A and B are shown apart, each in its own frame.
Chain A
Amino acid sequence: DAKTTQPTSMDCAEGRAANLPCNHSTISGNEYVYWYRQIHSQGPQYIIHGLKNNETNEMASLIITEDRKSSTLILPHATLRDTAVYYCIVREAAGNKLTFGGGTRVLVKP
């Protein structure tokens, strides 16, 4: 089972920042938090990942709380093309696989 909890859906206004929360209260110290998204009819697309520190790349920022029990993915200026299902995944150190949950369905509205 997935080790994360995300809201089922959320709306966001085009041009505004989208903040996607994720809870992972049982995360272990050496496990990474990964974010992927799936746009309709495409494969999961890698966004960003982190262990302890906040991370930023050209797509998004990842804020991880100090106790590592939750994180937030920030899309700084959402566009209509960011409409997708966003998956927060704890990559388990004991195994090789990513375990996908239900994700958050994000709808960016004009």
Chain B
Amino acid sequence: EAGVTQFPSHSVIEKGQTVTLRCDPISGHDNLYWYRRVMGKEIKFLLHFVKESKQDESGMPNNRFLAERTGGTYSTLKVQPAELEDSGVYFCASSPSWGVGFYNSPLHFGNGTRLTVT
């Protein structure tokens, strides 16, 4: 079984540019999450999709961040325009079905996209 894959693994952009990160969850996983770690800080939750719907986006820092999951499969996270403080590692995770057993199902993380804004 393929794990969670993220693309690109690294991205270096200039302040003001746009970057789009992609996440492919484990096949069949309804739940998809975005997290990030900025320099020196702890890993923080950004948002949670159940299939194509945003279940919780309380962690999104501001409206420069836009996450989508069209068709309930892969997801993209767009940062537009990027700022210096957006630099960090962005992780995607997925877990099986929403509903019964949700809290008893671990999240599986990808290896992240390292974003550097210069």
Query: A residues touching B (Cβ–Cβ < 8 Å)?
Result: 2, 30-32, 34, 36, 41-46, 49, 51, 91, 93, 95-102
**Hey, which chain B residues are within 8 Å of A45, CB to CB?**
109
Cβ contacts B41-78/A at 8 Å (1 or 0 each): 01111001000000110010000000000000000000
Query: B residues touching A (Cβ–Cβ < 8 Å)?
Result: 4, 31, 33, 35, 42-45, 48, 55-56, 59, 91, 93, 103-104, 106-112
A-B contact sample (11 more), CB < 8 A, given A97-B33, A102-B42: A32-B104, A43-B111, A46-B109, A51-B104, A95-B56, A96-B55, A96-B56, A97-B45, A97-B56, A98-B45, A100-B42
A43 in contact with B33 given A96-B55, A97-B45, A100-B44 (CB within 8 Å): no
**Hey, which chain A residues are within 8 Å of B111, CB to CB?**
41-43
Q: Is the CB of A43 within 8 A of B106?
A: no
- Most chain A Cβ neighbours within 10 Å, of B59, B106, B110: B106
**Hey, which chain B residues are within 8 Å of A91, CB to CB?**
103
Partner of B106, one of A34, A93, A99: A34
**Hey, which chain A residues are within 8 Å of B91, CB to CB?**
43-44
Chain B residue nearest to A31 (CB atoms) is B103
Q: Is the CB of A43 within 8 A of B112?
A: yes
The 9 nearest A-B residue pairs measured at CB:
A43-B109, A97-B45, A100-B43, A46-B106, A43-B111, A96-B48, A44-B109, A96-B56, A43-B110
Q: Is the CB of A99 within 8 A of B45?
A: yes
Could you tell me the distance between the alpha carbons of A46 and B61 in the complex, rounded to whole angstroms?
Answer: 26
**Hey, which chain A residues are within 8 Å of B112, CB to CB?**
42-43
Partner of B48, one of A2, A97, A99: A97
Chain B residue nearest to A38 (CB atoms) is B43
